[in-house]
Structure 1
């Protein structure tokens, strides 16, 4: 059944805003135009997509199914349009990267900065959110690649281990352990930890439990519904510790210091992985993946063999 991207865009806006009126205002169109366009789509499909009430609109079951398909279609259409416009202006387009950890320092920041320096015509947009939101963005096509701490079992995406970062413990500069250049896991057994409930707090909590239980300790870990920045900013007053990866150590807070954590085998490390859709044909994303692969001497597959050959030859895919 033929339809227009504009119709799908109106459906998405109405679903997100729960109202034709608010959706029309957000899209800067007349409400009557939006309503008629949605109604025309419903008639062509032979099914109602919305339940209409005085309070607003909500999706029917069929509407929910349509919405799941509409989001990636509209996102891909927007990407094609942006790439075409960028090409017409001599630019290389762009991509959106999602992440759930700080980029004040560390490999993620260094990689993005270096990628921009190597490809100054590429625009990189960042989205920081919990991994559930990031993977939903991948599903919908609104995010091109997600780079997260650790790994998740998502075989519906291409994925690869990108790099590892050092683990640091953050504490007041009055804390006894602050006098150490390096802190060992065994020295953290009796400490109290504060972490955010948002990512990557739960991931760090699980790592702490796994590391400290090996030495027979039951760590005192508290998760708080505040940002990691808030937790780090008050450590100097609480006597508690927090754990952060290298990417967070570029941000400085009053009376707070960072110390690298070591184990029996040397520096404590945590891996970072990248996830992207198998059908994502965004040329800027493929360039970025090729850049990461070369920078870290990796061997993961980017896309089809044809795309691999194109990237190897240096031609635009």
Structure 2
């Protein structure tokens, strides 16, 4: 296949320049290679493609007809070759990302923005969902990467922590605790928490129970059949309080205030999880961008400075 394509390429170049010698220079090969390849092509077809003279070469009528037939196919092959190389360099392609956190602000938003600026022709497919769902999709390579909380190893996957965010309490602006600049778990022991029944509600519920247990209390937690955006509006209407990541500080909801929790244990790591078998060039560049952004001292400081 490769030798046949090479013969056709030599045919097109030689026809354009009218010389095997000049064709060899343009293709960066010996003239003997050009002559031998085109002679083999003529023998295979059973026709003479070129008239050879002291002044150079020119296509025979049979050669002209043959070139007219194969030229569109050669152009299509060249287009496919450029497309394949472009995808390999991650100039085009698709990155599928499963997320648990808001994209409104913070590291994840900076990462997506930085990547799209560097690779504007790559499509980013962001998918909300739960940890278990995302990890199953990563293992099946239906997702390139999942962004989850925690930094523990995930069996069968590669895991890397990229950033941390402090947990915030979301409150109604008229709540007695809204006037404080920071909060701690003893302040919340009598509060009514609300969480969404769907993701990320179960994970938030488990976090509330685990952290409350550290202070020997059992929390009052109600599940709501509402998406996260609706839940935040319910909080702003005084229906209860909830917990969110620092990224939510970039979201403006009327009547809603966010207050950081002060304990070091309430700084949560966020990690990327992916399959080691994933060789998607666009994703590998995404991973490289995340690593560069995470190593930036400015980025690391920016994630925690407002709440420390």
SS of equivalent residue, structure 1 residue 238: coil
Task: Work out whether 1:107 is the aligned partner of 2:107.
Answer: yes
- For structure 1, which segment, 267-276 or 188-197, has the greater mean C-alpha deviation from structure 2 after superposition? 267-276
**Counterpart in 2 of 1:147?**
147
1:235 deviation in Å? 1.5
SS of equivalent residue, structure 2 residue 167: strand
**Counterpart in 1 of 2:180?**
180
Task: Work out whether 1:170 is the aligned partner of 2:170.
Answer: yes
**Counterpart in 1 of 2:206?**
206
Alpha-carbon separation, structure 1, partners of 2:240 and 2:268:
22
**Counterpart in 1 of 2:161?**
161
Among 273, 280, 289, the residue aligned to 2:271: 273
Task: Work out whether 1:296 is the aligned partner of 2:289.
Answer: no
**Counterpart in 2 of 1:303?**
none
Unaligned runs of 5+ residues in structure 2 are 1-79, 297-308
Unaligned runs of 5+ residues in structure 1 are 1-79, 299-317
Per-residue displacement from partner, 1:11-42 (whole Å, max 9, x unpaired)? xxxxxxxxxxxxxxxxxxxxxxxxxxxxxxxx
1:153 deviation in Å? 5.7
Aligned residue pairs total: 217
Aligned positions of 1:197-276 closer than 5 A: 197-263=197-263, 265=264, 268-276=266-274
**Counterpart in 2 of 1:196?**
196
**Counterpart in 2 of 1:14?**
none
**Counterpart in 1 of 2:122?**
122
Q: Structure 1 residues 188, 90: CA separation in 2 closer, same or farther (over 3 Å shift)?
A: closer
Task: Work out whether 1:283 is the aligned partner of 2:276.
Answer: no
Alpha-carbon separation, structure 2, partners of 1:160 and 1:236:
35
Alpha-carbon separation, structure 1, partners of 2:171 and 2:288:
38
Q: TM-score, normalised by structure 1?
A: 0.62
Whether the aligned pair in 1 keeps the contact of 2:114 and 2:289 (CA below 8 Å) is: no
SS of equivalent residue, structure 1 residue 133: helix
Q: TM-score, normalised by structure 2?
A: 0.64
Whether the aligned pair in 1 keeps the contact of 2:88 and 2:281 (CA below 8 Å) is: no
Aligned positions of 1:19-30 closer than 5 A: none
Alpha-carbon separation, structure 2, partners of 1:179 and 1:246:
18
Q: What stretches of structure 1 move > 6 A for 4+ residues in a row?
A: none
Q: Structure 1 residues 162, 239: CA separation in 2 closer, same or farther (over 3 Å shift)?
A: same
Aligned positions of 1:31-70 closer than 5 A: none
Q: Structure 1 residues 133, 211: CA separation in 2 closer, same or farther (over 3 Å shift)?
A: closer
Alpha-carbon separation, structure 1, partners of 2:87 and 2:238:
54
Greater RCO (Cα-Cα under 8 Å, separation 6 or more): 2
1:150 deviation in Å? 2.5
1:276 deviation in Å? 0.7
1:89 deviation in Å? 11
Larger Rg: 2
Q: Structure 1 residues 90, 185: CA separation in 2 closer, same or farther (over 3 Å shift)?
A: closer
